[in-house]
Structure 1
């Protein structure tokens, strides 16, 4: 089933990103309750940016977030906000657990992240479609 395009006043769009974030030093510190809370935090934060959390999961040392975003969003600023908000709230709400792992340092996420664009059609299909456009005379 084809996905529905989103619309703003001046454009139609369908933009998805796959974000991978890892804990500082890849420490295996994310517990099941933390994972559930992180899902809530990411969903709430994305909604404030007029974006949508499509899928979310992770392991003890990293998370995968699939999100639908709008063209007004600058990806690096969105990722920075997601990491900042989630780190602050998780360190506050799970302080006892994280203080044991990070020895009281105010850290949670690694500075690095992986952000991948993803969509419906493979690049080869889109490239072929563009190549087949009529020539301008």
Structure 2
């Protein structure tokens, strides 16, 4: 479902929300059935708020702009998400890990 024009628009929406919330996008990967992000977020804001904002806006906008999504899917996102912190790991190490694991899917 998340390919072509939908993927391009989704990436733009994600970038918009991340910028508005004062976070920093490190990596973004859209796969056919899910999205993976590596972002730096102020802990006082909270990653859960960022994820909620991304899901909310992308759900509304994509369903308005792509009518096929309204007939094929009752909802675009599940209520679940997976979040992990990387603590003091160097950013380059985390990026390489994410890139390696994406290619092996």
Q: Does 2:2 align with 1:34?
A: no
For residues 85-124 of structure 1, what are the structure 2 equivalents within 5 Å? 85-95=57-67, 97-102=68-73, 105=74, 107-121=75-89
Q: 1:74 to 1:121 in 2, by over 3 A?
A: closer
Root-mean-square deviation (CA, aligned residues, Å) is 1.7
DSSP 3-state at the match of 1:117? coil
| Over 4 Å off, 4+ runs | none
Question: Which structure's residues are more often strand, by fraction?
Answer: 1
Q: 1:89 to 1:70 in 2, by over 3 A?
A: same
Q: TM-score normalized by structure 2?
A: 0.75
Q: Which residue of 2 aligns with 1:58?
A: 30
Q: Is the 8 A contact 1:52 1:69 kept in 2?
A: yes
Distance in 2 between residues matched to 1:109 and 1:66, nearest whole Å: 18
Question: Which structure's residues are more often helix, by fraction?
Answer: 2
Q: TM-score normalized by structure 1?
A: 0.59
Q: Give the structure, 1 or 2, with the largest relative contact order (CA under 8 Å, sep 6 or more).
A: 1
Segments of 5+ residues of structure 1 without an aligned counterpart are 1-28, 123-137
Structure having the higher Rg = 1
